[in-house]
Every structure is written in C-alpha cells, then in structure tokens.
Amino acid sequence: MSAGTAEGPGTPAAGAPRIVVGGILVRGGRLLAARRTAPAETAGRWEFPGGKAEPGEDERAALVRELREELGVEVRPLVRVPGEWPLTAGFVLRVWTAELLRGVPEPLEDHDELRWVTPQEAAALPWLDPDRPALAWAAGRL
Ligand SMILES: Nc1nc2c([nH]c(=O)n2[C@H]2C[C@H](O)[C@@H](COP(=O)(O)OP(=O)(O)OP(=O)(O)O)O2)c(=O)[nH]1
C-alpha cells in the first residue's frame, strides 16, 4: 500500500519496483542452475529459475506458478534469501529456497539447459550478476 500519498490506499506507489522471484532447489548437496535463452542480453547466462510476479500476486505464489510453467514441477517456497537486488528498470530480484514436491525439472520454457551443480561448479558458471549474492548465500549452506 502506498504510504500517505494522494494515490489512495491499495495503489502501488509510483515507481514501486516489481518483483522477479527466483527459486533455489537443492538435491544432494547440489543446487539447480538454469541457462537462459532470452532476451539476447541474458541468453547463455545462468540463473535461478523463476520470473515476474504479476501485480498483486504474492511472490511465493509467483514462484510456485513460474516453476510449474518453466520446469514442470511442484514446489513449496521455504525461506527467502535476505536482501533484494535491482534488475533492469523497475524490477528487483528476490530469491527463495524451495522444496521440490513433485516432478523432475525440465527446461520447458526460457531455458535450454538445467544443471544440478555443486557450489564449486556453480561458481565457475557465468551467472547473471544479480544472482551472485543469493548464490553465495546458498553455497554457504550446502
Ligand atoms: N527468472 C529469473 N530472472 C532473473 C534472475 N536474475 C535476473 O537478473 N533475472 C532477470 C532476467 C529477466 O530479464 C527478468 C525476469 O524475466 P523472466 O523472463 O524470467 O520473467 P517471466 O517468466 O515472468 O517472463 P515474461 O512475463 O516477461 O514473459 O529478470 C533470476 O535468477 N531468475
């Protein structure tokens, strides 16, 4: 809700950032990295799968929806990585750990490769820069 502006209650403040939410899935000491296919400036870079929360959509619900669409799996968000990281104009990245409930992740949308990587292997991949702090946080807990 905007605080004390003329926009009225419930109206997002002008310029309020929209959220991109990414998910950290962990299996046997490895985390799931996904290689983007688009847009061109991000193609070939690695990230945590996820996407944009719709206006008004809870970010956990957005993560569940995005991982269903992109990977074909059902997940349950667990813990939000402390912090958020600015993206291109108007978006911020937030990252959650998530439990894999059902399914085997497949690169159905937005990615051409998925890889379960150790922290050492992850560090050697060309990640999108905004993901690096969340990657470091996760790697320290594996
Ligand atoms: N999904 C995701 N996007 C990230 C991460 N790090 C990062 O910089 N980004 C950027 C890449 C994209 O420009 C943007 C997210 O867009 P997206 O294409 O994944 O979102 P979306 O699935 O909702 O796509 P759309 O509605 O635009 O079609 O955020 C990350 O860890 N996960």
Classify residue 12: in a domain, yes or no: no
| Percent of the chain predicted with pLDDT > 70 | 90
Classify residue 13: in a domain, yes or no: no
Classify residue 98: in a domain, yes or no: yes
Classify residue 10: in a domain, yes or no: no
Residue 103: predicted pLDDT: 98
Provide the domain limits for residue 119. 18-139
Q: Whose CA is nearest to atom 16 of ligand 1?
A: 51
Residue 14: predicted pLDDT: 61
80 phi and psi angles, rounded to 5 deg: -85, 130
**CA–CA dist 106, 72 (Å, integer):** 6
pTM equals 0.90
**Closest ligand 1 atom, residue 69 Cα:** 22
Residue 3: predicted pLDDT: 39
Classify residue 118: in a domain, yes or no: yes
- Domain of 87, CATH number, reads 3.90.79.10
**With a 6 A CB cut-off, is 51 part of the ligand 1 pocket?**
yes
How much is the mean pLDDT over the chain? 91
Q: How many domains does the chain have?
A: 1
ipTM of the complex: 0.93
pLDDT over 50 (residue 31): yes
Residue 16: predicted pLDDT: 85
For the segment 54-86, what is each residue's pLDDT rounded down to a tens digit? 999 999 999 999 999 999 999 999 999 999 999
pLDDT over 80 (residue 2): no
**With a 6 A CB cut-off, is 87 part of the ligand 1 pocket?**
yes
Name the residue among 20, 79, 87, 75 with its Cα closest to residue 50: 20
Q: How far is the CA of 52 from the centre of ligand 1 (A)?
A: 6
First to last CA, the chain: 37
pLDDT over 70 (residue 32): yes
SS3 32: strand
Polymer length in residues for the chain: 142
pLDDT over 50 (residue 90): yes
Q: How far is the CA of 6 from the centre of ligand 1 (A)?
A: 32
Indicate the pLDDT class of residue 6, thresholds 50, 70 and 90: very low
Classify residue 76: in a domain, yes or no: yes
